Structure formats: C-alpha cells, structure tokens
Structure 1
Amino acid sequence: MNKKHGMLIYRKEDIARNKVFIDLLMKASYDVDRPLMLITYEEMALQVAESNLFLESEESLFPSFIINRSVSHWINEIAESKEIRSFNSAKIARIANDKRLTHSTLSKIDIPMLTTIHTSKETLVEHPPLDFPFVVKNPFGRGGTDVHLIDSADALKEVSSSLHDELIVQPVGSAPGKDVRVFVIGNQIIGAVLRESFDSELRANISLGGSSKIYELNEDEKSLINKIIDHLKPDFVGLDFLLDENGKLTFNEMEDAVGCRSLYMNSEIDIAALFMKYVAEQT
C-alpha cells in the first residue's frame, strides 16, 4: 500500500446511509494518491499504551492519517499522540461533538447565538431554567437526534424519561424548522444550503425528511463565518446557523462528521474531492 495512506473510520450503523459519500471519498483518495481503507469503529483494536503501533497488531496498517467520522474524539487524540494526522484535529472533534463546548468556545469571540444553559435532567424537570416554550437537546446528539420542543410542564414530564441525563436548554428561535448549513474545508467556505422542515417539525435535517436549496451568503455572513474559521482552524466541518427575526445568522452548532447530502443534491460541488485534495496537501 502507498506509504501515505489513511484510515476512514465510521460506526457500522452509519455506513449504509453514508455509502454515497464514502464511495466518493474512496475514489477521491486514489485520485490524490492518498488511498483510504474503510474500517469500522467496532472492529478497531487500538494500542493505547506500551506500543507505538496504532492498531493492535498490524504494523503494516499504521496509517499516515485518519479521517474519523465515528464521532469519538478520543480516537483522534490517540492518533495524534502517535504523530498521526487526524481530520478533524482532536481539539476540533472534541469541541464540535459537545454542544456545550462549542457554544462556550464561540461565545469568547462574540458570535451571535441563543441563550444556552447546561443542566441535568433531574434539575430540568424540577426547576426549568427558561420559560416555556423552550428547546432541550442532548449535548452529544447529532443529525437532529435528541432534540425536543417543550411547550408546557406536562409536555416536559411526558418526555422526561427519554431525555439524556445531561442537557442543554435554549429558547425557541425565530424561524423554527429552518437553518443554514455552511460547509468549510480548511480556511475556505465551500458552500451553504438552506434547510427547511416540511411541516412544523423543529429540525431541518435532510436525513429527517427536510428540503434544501443552495443559499447564497452575503458579505456580512461570510465575515461572520470567517471569524469562526480563523478562531477554530477546522479541517472539514459544517457550521449550522438559525435565522433571527431579521434574517441574520445565529450560530446553532458545529458538525464534526458533517453530512454533505444537501450540498451534492443541490450543486455540482464535489466536496469529497475537495476535501481529499486538502488532505493530500496537509499530509
């Protein structure tokens, strides 16, 4: 295998629904002479101590880099401890995969966002920190999972048993069911899509049945996004924004293993090829 090869890591349950993107990445990896080997999170046996190997046994499988889309930042950290380049970096993966850290990090540079409060399930049920209605999220959720619109005490009690033990609580945005996802590779804005739910559903994720179309960013919006990029220095992320009452972007969350279906459904942009070109430049 080429000396500079990489590992593409997914959880088993995510492979089927990401097959198109995985195939695009695999093809693009050979085009830039950085071939990828797909490996599942569940089959990995990592050396975490007393060895310079990455996987448990096969020295020949020591990768030059990893693309970890399993939403498990500790793998990135182990890779970096063995001087293996990880995409995204362990720092970005850790921040992106915990909404509490994402909001705290970006609040330091005055990025507009909704009031965001961390609490436990027990405290939320006994003493809600915001007036109804509000939104409750699992801080580790992704793809629109574990997001609940709570409009009354009765509704809170009804859903409480299904809530994660750790939560963030936010007020309802001005345009629920609508958001803008911005795709970023390195220091470049690649494109943006406006995503909308078909009905009153709070979440606009395409995987949950929403619609999407290309969104043309204006100069003020680009300036805001570049401020985030300059501060975080990500490799490949999705930045999701809500729209306020004046149509201005309000930061919502950052996706580490960002879903790209909405972009290649609505444009000719081959984001997999662009990303692998970036990986080749970085390795």
Structure 2
Amino acid sequence: MKGAVYYNEEEAKRNHAFIDDLLKEAKNLGIELKLITDSPTEPLDFILFRDRNPTFALELEQASYRVFNRASVQKIANDKLRTFELATLLGIPAVPTFRADQLPPLPFVMKTRGGHGGSEVFLCESAKQAETILNRFDHNELIVQPFIESNATDVRVFMLGNEVLGAVKRTGAKDSFKSNYTLGGTVELYTLNNTETKQVQAISRAISSDYIGMDFILPISGGWLLNEIEDPVGARSLYQTHEFSVAKKLLKYVKNQLGDDSC
C-alpha cells in the first residue's frame, strides 16, 4: 500500500513530530508513506490531507485519489457558520452563531468563519472594539457569538470515523478567554458520557468524517455547547493525555477503510 501525507510547507515544519510518527508507524504497518507539499505526481492509494484547502482536496478527489478527510468535510469543518447550521439541523446544543449584521448584546465574541488555533477570535466588550473588527474584515467572513462564561474551559473530542478516539478538557492560560493548548493552556483527559457520545457520533455520521476534532464549550451552568469542528485537527493534547500513538490508529483506520485488514 502506497500513500502520502499532504501539508503545506509552513505547516509541515510546525508538525514535524506528528509527521515523523506517521512515517515510523507506516513502516511498521507495511505502508509506503511519504510527505508531500505539492500536487502528487504518481498513483497513490490514499492521501492524508492535512490542510485547510477544500478546493485543492476536491481537485485530488476528482483525480481519483482517496482523500482523508474529503473536501465535503473540510467545507463544513472550516466554516464556523456552517458548523452551527449543521448542529441546528441535528439538534445538537451549540453556541448561538450569527452573521456580522446581527450583533447580540455586549459582550460578544467575533470570529472569522475560517480561523483556527485561536487566531482571529476577538472578545468585544464595547461598541468601539466591535467597530474596529468590523472595519478590519469583510463582514461576510465574520460570525458573532454571545460571550459565554466558561472559565476558558472546553472539551476537544477526537473522532476516528464514528469512534471516539479520545477527549481532552482544556483550560486557557491565565487572563485569557481562549482555551487552546497551543496558546499556553493546560489539558487533562476527559471521559464522555452516553449523551455526549451519541451527539459526537451524530455529527461524524452526518458529515462522513475520517479524523476530526470537535470543540465544545463547558459553560459554568448547563451542558456543553458545540463551538467548532477542526480539520485538520492537531494531536498534541491527545498525545499529552493518552497512552497511544495517534498516527498508528489513524493509519490502521486508513488500511481498514481501503479494505486491507492485515493490521
């Protein structure tokens, strides 16, 4: 079996540890795997697509490559408005999300629809702050959410197909309303209850995802609320809290999906 893991050049440098683990585990599983940062030039059984570029992913699919995740997954996962619309359709509790022409009462959070990793997320506590953000971005690229007090705590659930691969509770760095681990937050293992498991599985089935992350805010009162879907999802916090190789499980999943059950 022959495959590739695709990153753009910048992200390949940032994610070298995960790439190294993928290459090591691929060798152990009898998979010929290589890193590519451009269009493939040879037949491949699969491509692990680790970028936020559904247009390019669709081009690869149309060229008959099996892409994990497909472009259709990326179009929802990398658009916070579409994520909210999906949750609403499925009846999954989610953070109320509006277009930038529908501002809720202050304070609220403004985000770009395609931002990730805690970037392009702004807490607006005054009309002046909101105006600054509105002047900085195209209104069609912004969404607005009410600020929900959560002590900067959320849960990231990692899904492999319809299986819960693992989950981590993330708490933001001091004086930050963002919970991202890469921004200085802390993480601990989190175990989903039956209701939470059914909800994340409903989402993964609806979009036919392969390997994604789902972020749920934990309000001070009440149950969790879906905030974002991450593709490609980073595995740093999962490696930190769980005793297995994410790369190994992902590659075994790929082999099974392609009809190779030798692993």
TM-score under structure 2 normalisation? 0.91
Q: How far is 1:161 from its partner?
A: 4.7
Indicate the SS of the match to 2:15: helix
Query: What is the correspondence of 1:189-204 to structure 2 with a 5 Å cutoff?
Result: 189-204=164-179
CA–CA separation in structure 1 for the residues paired with 2:74 and 2:63: 17
CA–CA separation in structure 1 for the residues paired with 2:183 and 2:8: 19
Q: How far is 1:203 from its partner?
A: 1.3
Query: What is the correspondence of 1:136-215 to structure 2 with a 5 Å cutoff?
Result: 136-163=110-137, 165=139, 166-215=141-190
Match of 1:14 in 2: 11
Q: How far is 1:28 from its partner?
A: 1.6
Q: How far is 1:158 from its partner?
A: 4.0
Match of 1:226 in 2: 201
- 2:74 corresponds to 1:77: no
**Comparing 21-30 with 270-279, which one deviates more in the overlay?**
21-30
- In structure 1, give the amino acid aligned to 2:22: L
- In structure 2, give the amino acid aligned to 1:135: V
TM-score under structure 1 normalisation? 0.85
Which of the numbers 29, 34, 45 marks the counterpart of 1:32?
A: 29
Render the CA deviation track for 1:102-149: whole Å, top value 9, x for unaligned.
211221111101211123xxx5xxxx6211100000111111110000
- In structure 2, give the amino acid aligned to 1:188: E
8 Å Cα contact 1:32/1:280 also seen in 2: no
Aligned length: 257
**Comparing 203-212 with 6-15, which one deviates more in the overlay?**
6-15
**Comparing 250-259 with 155-164, which one deviates more in the overlay?**
155-164
Which of the numbers 59, 62, 82 marks the counterpart of 2:43?
A: 62
- Segments of structure 2 that go 5 or more residues without pairing to the other structure are 259-263
- In structure 2, give the amino acid aligned to 1:147: V
Return the index of the structure with the highest Cα Rg: 1
**Pairwise CA RMSD:** 1.7
Render the CA deviation track for 1:28-52: whole Å, top value 9, x for unaligned.
2222222221112xxx2x4xxxxxx
**Comparing 181-190 with 244-253, which one deviates more in the overlay?**
244-253
Q: How far is 1:233 from its partner?
A: 2.3
Indicate the SS of the match to 1:38: strand
Q: Which runs of 4+ in 1 moved over 3 A?
A: 157-165
8 Å Cα contact 1:118/1:167 also seen in 2: yes
- In structure 1, give the amino acid aligned to 2:47: I
Quick one: percent identity of the two aligned structures?
Answer: 35
- Segments of structure 1 that go 5 or more residues without pairing to the other structure are 47-54
Q: How far is 1:164 from its partner?
A: 5.1
